[in-house]
Amino acid sequence: MARKRHLSRIAVMQVLFERGYREIDDKKSLRKNIEELGNVDEEFAQTLLEGSLSMEDELKKEIELKAPEWSFDRMDPIARPVLIMGAFELLYANDAPPAVVMNECIEIAKEYGTDETGKFVNGVLNALAKGL
């Protein structure tokens, strides 16, 4: 189950990343990512994507509040989708412990970004989790 959710988060992060650069069909993009990644919890991925998109503006504001020196647009291109997804899970999903959500997001940020991306994601999500 844990591996399926990890892959689900990667699929969602990729959709959020891609839509930051061009117009896409979110559902088709998620479907493509799920097919490429394989063993994914599709229901979880769809819920995570839909929630992240529906709350995106509010999530960006929350993220910027926890990173006051950084506007959302100035953040690392990998950090942005990871933070949107992680913030949604922390603030609204309530189906995984905050430590698990944070660890997953940090690992994805390091895997697709840099160690610095992982540190930044860690700091912002930690600040969000402390407010819970």
Cβ–Cβ under 8 Å, residues 40 and 7: yes
Return the closest-CA partner of residue 102 out of 115, 80, 87. Answer: 87
Instruction: Give the CATH number for residue 119.
Output: 1.10.940.10
Chain-centroid distance of CA 12 in Å reads: 7
Q: Quote the CA–CA distance of 13 and 30 in Å, as a whole number.
A: 9
Per-residue pLDDT of the chain (132 residues; tens, 9 = 90+): 568 999 999 999 999 999 989 999 999 999 999 999 999 999 999 999 999 999 999 999 999 999 989 999 999 999 999 999 999 999 999 889 999 999 999 999 999 999 999 999 999 999 999 987
Q: Which domain holds residue 70?
A: 2-130
Q: In the chain, how many domains are there?
A: 1
| 45-80 b/e (C-beta count within 10 Å ≥ 16 → b) | bbbbbebbbebeeebbebbbebbeeeeeeebbebbb
Contact criterion met (CB below 8 Å) for 90 and 128: yes
